């Protein structure tokens, strides 16, 4: 068993192997023939869900979708109990939910479980982002990148995943929306091991100055709609929109990244999102490549885990 529930469940060497295999994108044939992969979505998903379904099917496996609309997940059974039952039918699982729910499901499932995104981390997304940067710039080590916006799950994963591979990450957020302290601590520790670094700022122009990639995400992620909070956030984040003026502070060959979905003319202008510097469709395409690579490598990672063979 090998669980990927947060970004540093992968070592830097394992991340590099995933990126190498994803870059080659060689046909996986029937690597999952006869195997069923459970896809649990307690939160809404588009790109993650579809790319996983296509990845599993293209490798000869059977994707089994479980969500709140067509199951009894919301009827009171604990997720640990659901996991125990699903382990009788399926071979491994990907799950999108709040982190506490992911941890509970994984504990019950007892088989390889991968986070498909939570309120704290999105490990498969950052692998696709790093692949995009690798395709664009080649060597990742020492590359300066910036994240502007909310200190959310995507920000956490950008910090941790990029620092683990030796990138220099600058994050600019409003003072009341900094990334979580535990995520900052883990990212800085990863940077100490790899030669990467993390700098926290409140000035977007300072964060973007001379950078090679500017990343943003929606200002409200995995939270219920609240019109009052939305209006408050628009005021707090007004200076953090990634637009042509802000992007002009970046390096001339800088690229724009966004995990999508984007709320046009909120966190990013349509002009920049659709510009020649935008790599958002490439990022989305790389989700499929990374999922295929992960599915191929998960058995190896399980064998390499410290508990293997016990």
Number of C-alpha atoms within 13 angstroms, CB side, residue 1?
A: 16
Nearest CA-CA partner of 117 in 153, 86, 150: 153
**pLDDT score, position 268:** 98
Residues 76 and 107 in one domain: yes
Residues 101 and 179 in one domain: no
**pLDDT score, position 233:** 83
Is 189 an active-site residue? no
Residue of 129, 155, 217, 279 with catalytic role: 217
- Partners of 171 in beta bridges: 147, 200
Give the range of the structural domain holding residue 204, as residue numbers without chain letter.
Answer: 123-284
Residue of 49, 122, 258, 279 with catalytic role: 122
Residues 277 and 299 in one domain: no
Is 122 an active-site residue? yes
**pLDDT score, position 267:** 97
Is 111 an active-site residue? no
Is 125 an active-site residue? yes
309 within a domain of the structure (yes/no): no
Residues 60 and 76 in one domain: yes
74 within a domain of the structure (yes/no): yes
46 within a domain of the structure (yes/no): yes
Residue of 8, 49, 119, 125 with catalytic role: 125
Residue of 96, 212, 258, 289 with catalytic role: 96
Q: Rounded distance, CA 153 to CA 122, Å? A: 6
CATH number assigned to the domain comprising residue 279 = 3.40.50.1370
Residue of 47, 150, 170, 259 with catalytic role: 259
Is 259 an active-site residue? yes
Residues 136 and 256 in one domain: yes
Longest dimension (CA), the chain: 57
**pLDDT score, position 45:** 94
Tell me the angle at which helices 79-86 and 99-109 cross, rounded to the nearest 10 degrees. 40
Q: Contact 55/288 with Cβ under 8 angstroms? A: yes
Q: What is the DSSP string of 167-180?
A: -EEEEE--GGGPPP
**pLDDT score, position 225:** 56
**pLDDT score, position 232:** 82
Is 70 an active-site residue? no
**Local confidence pLDDT in tens for the 310 residues of the chain:** 899 999 999 999 999 999 999 999 887 779 999 999 999 999 999 999 999 999 999 999 999 999 988 787 867 889 999 999 999 999 999 999 999 999 999 999 999 999 999 999 999 999 999 999 999 999 999 999 999 999 999 999 999 999 999 999 999 999 999 999 999 999 999 999 999 999 999 999 999 999 999 999 999 866 555 556 677 888 899 999 999 999 999 999 999 999 999 999 999 999 999 999 999 999 999 999 999 999 999 999 999 987 654 4
Residue of 49, 220, 279, 287 with catalytic role: 287
**pLDDT score, position 310:** 41
Residues 85 and 197 in one domain: no
Provide the number of structural domains found in the chain.
Answer: 2
**pLDDT score, position 164:** 98
Helix spans in 114-226 (H): 123-137, 153-164, 181-194, 204-208
Residues 34 and 91 in one domain: yes
Residues 86 and 137 in one domain: no
Which residues lie closer than 8 Å to 83 by C-beta, 6 or more apart?
Answer: 93, 104, 105, 106, 107, 108, 109, 110
164 within a domain of the structure (yes/no): yes
Residues 140 and 258 in one domain: yes
């Amino acid at each position: 068993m090998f669980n990927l529930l947060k970004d540093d469940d992968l070592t830097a060497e394992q991340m590099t192997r995933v990126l190498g295999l994803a870059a080659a994108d060689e046909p996986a044939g029937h690597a999952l023939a006869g195997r069923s992969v459970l896809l649990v979505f307690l939160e809404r998903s588009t790109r993650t869900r579809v790319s996983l379904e296509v990845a599993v099917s293209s490798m000869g496996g059977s994707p089994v979708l479980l969500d709140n609309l067509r199951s009894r997940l919301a009827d009171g059974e604990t997720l640990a109990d659901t996991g125990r039952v699903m382990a009788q039918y399926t071979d491994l699982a990907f799950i999108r939910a709040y982190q506490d729910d992911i941890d509970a499901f994984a504990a019950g499932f007892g088989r390889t479980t991968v986070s498909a995104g939570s309120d704290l981390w999105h490990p498969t997304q950052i692998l696709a982002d790093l692949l995009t940067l690798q395709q664009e710039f080649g060597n990742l080590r020492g590359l300066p990148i910036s994240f502007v916006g909310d200190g959310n799950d995507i920000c956490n994963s950008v910090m941790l995943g990029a620092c683990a591979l030796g990138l220099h990450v600058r994050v600019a957020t409003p003072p009341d929306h900094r990334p979580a302290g535990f995520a900052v601590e883990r990212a800085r520790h990863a940077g100490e091991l790899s030669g990467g670094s993390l700098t926290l700022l409140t000035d977007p122009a300072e964060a973007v100055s001379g950078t090679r990639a500017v990343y943003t995400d929606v200002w409200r992620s995995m939270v219920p709609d609240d019109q009052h909070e939305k209006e408050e956030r628009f005021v707090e984040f007004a200076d953090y929109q990634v637009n042509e003026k802000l992007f002009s502070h970046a390096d001339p060959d800088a690229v724009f990244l966004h995990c999508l979905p984007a709320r046009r003319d909120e966190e990013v202008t349509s002009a920049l999102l659709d510009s020649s510097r935008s790599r958002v469709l490439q990022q989305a395409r790389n989700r499929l490549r990374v999922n295929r690579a992960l599915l191929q490598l998960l058995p190896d990672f399980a064998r390499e885990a410290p508990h293997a063979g016990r």
